[in-house]
A = this chain, B = another copy of it.
Amino acid sequence: MDLLVPETLPQSLRRGIVSRNLMAGQRLFRQGDRAAALFVVTDGRLRLVRCVGESNLATVQIVQPGESLGEAALLVDAYPETAIAETATWVLGYPKSLLLAALNEHPSLAETAVLLLTRKIQELTLRLEWRDIPMARERLLQYFRHLARSASRNEILLDRPLKEIAVDLGFTPETLSRSLSRLEQEGAITRSGRSIRLQDASAA
């Protein structure tokens, strides 16, 4: 069973699926909203943002197609973060109660759910790993290397504003810009606009 292909799902769950289309900037849910459903992105991407303290914003994750968000619905009754579409985005929503019920009745669904969550854990772990690299250039380089590995090519095309990439990595846009310059002048990368090529192929 594949959560993204409703035809493969049991009737009971399929009927409850909600499909939502979001414009860039639109919110799927807000921190504190009653959490009733888990979502999976089919197209586009969403940014998960947490507000902590008085004025600190934390981007927890960028959710890409095939990944889940709002799993907290399974555990607690309020979303702990806000989900904002970064581009035009399409998501499918699975009501908590129906999903848990379907899980009990259809084991093969359980397996896909487990894999979905595991993938999310890997994503989060990766972000934490980056954050533990203190020096900006180094952190950025690791990020690029990861993208390169994912694409299995060492030419990367950044498909979104550097601004956003910056906050993902925990930088200000200025710092990102400077880091890019220095990486280039140190010969670690060459860039033209948003196309980046890694020079040394040494991966972690």
Contact = CB atoms under 8 A, between A and B. Distances in A.
Most central of A60, A75, A106, A114 by chain B CB within 10 Å: A114
Interface in A34-58: 50-53, 56-58
Contact of A113 (B80, B114, B122, B134): B114
A170 B59 CA distance: 17
Given A50-B125, A52-B129, A125-B124, A110 B117 contact: no
B110 A53 contact: no
Contacts of A86: none
A120 B121 contact: yes
A170 B60 contact: no
Most central of A51, A74, A81, A142 by chain B CB within 10 Å: A74
A131 interface: yes
Contacts of A80: 122, 125
Nearest to A138: B53
A53 B103 contact: no
Interface in A55-86: 56-61, 71-72, 74-75, 80-81
A115 B72 contact: no
Given A50-B129, A52-B129, 11 more contacts: A56-B134, A58-B133, A60-B129, A75-B115, A100-B111, A103-B114, A104-B108, A114-B114, A114-B117, A117-B117, A128-B131
Given A71-B121, A107-B105, A121-B121, A58 B114 contact: no
